[in-house]
Amino acid sequence: MRTRRDKLSGAGAQLATEVSINFGSALAGLLIPVVGSPIVVAARQIVMVVVVLPLARPKLKNLTWARIWPALALGVVLAVMNLTFYQAVSILGLGIAATIEFLGPFALALITSRRILDFVCAAAAAGGVFLLTWSDGTLDLLGIALALTAAASWFFYILLTRRVATEFAGLEGISVASMVSLVIVVPIALFTLDLSAFTWGVVGLLLLVGVVSSAFPYTLDTYILRRISPRLYAIITSFGPVIAAGFGALVLGETFTLLQQIAIVVVCVAAGAAIATQRDRPMYDLELTATAIP
């Protein structure tokens, strides 16, 4: 049973990961035009494996398919989520891409809901995203599709990380997922590799992105999701688009019209209101459903 202290420590850690991930995404936004998004994602995963594997080498002889499949699936989800999100950032910008991606955890919180309030909040969030992406009268369908794919991946990331955290001791599960993700991402990165784009400054930024975007937050997520429910996780994550927009402005020089600023706030408020007023029971039922997947 989670104690109040566990919940507070988990919530504080989750807020720290939100700041870390979005700062890392802003740094990645500086690198993507230089080396491309696959290289940035590969660097993240390399750093992740280097940090995690020595600390949590999985005991493969003790693994059964029932135990290992969530970690393998998590690795695939990590690769898809990061590749599509960073490509969306390169097209839409960090603030807009992060706001659309947030629909993933928001959907997780609402998926079992039957309340009118939740449908109203979902409609408000959808309207906010539409205003955000159509503020200049045009829609970048590729960027939106990539961001929505990242959102769907984040949905499954939350469920799978929680499952992995309960199936494996310490960081063993995330180390398996990291290796799977690395195997997927590295060939794509090698295909787009341009050695002339690399300088020591670029290499240093890639390493920093790997630490603040992957090694720190993803290892901390296994700690967090043992202490707080996916619902509380999603509530705290609702601040993410605002944090991302802030870093987008500070680090990348992104500018947002008044309409776009309102749209980002609408999405966050709608999500926060819907999630915060829910009971824990629907999310508990969802966790049982996820646990029952063969």
pLDDT of 146 > 70? The answer is: yes
What distance in Å separates the CA atoms of residue 208 and residue 215, rounded to the nearest whole number?
10
Domain around 202: 4-291
Element holding 8 (H helix, E strand):
helix 4-35
Burial bucket for residue 127 (CB in 10 Å: 0-12, 13-18, 19+): middle
pLDDT, one tens digit per residue, over 92-120 is: 999 999 999 988 878 877 776 777 887 88
Q: What is the mean pLDDT of the chain?
A: 82
And the tokens for 285?
């039922």
CB contact burial 2-19 (16+ within 10 A = b; e otherwise): eeeeeeeebbebbeebbb
Q: How far apart are the first and last CA of the chain?
A: 25
CB 237 within 8 A of CB 268: no
Number of domains the chain is built from: 1
Nearest CA-CA partner of 243 in 38, 95, 64? 95
What distance in Å separates the CA atoms of residue 280 and residue 287, rounded to the nearest whole number?
11
**pLDDT at residue 275, as a whole number:** 73
pLDDT, one tens digit per residue, over 238-277 is: 788 899 999 999 999 998 888 889 999 998 888 878 777 7
pLDDT, one tens digit per residue, over 170-204 is: 677 778 888 899 999 999 999 999 888 899 999 99
And the tokens for 14?
């989750």
Nearest CA-CA partner of 165 in 225, 113, 208? 225
**pLDDT at residue 170, as a whole number:** 66
Instruction: Identify which has the larger pLDDT, 143 or 68.
Output: 143
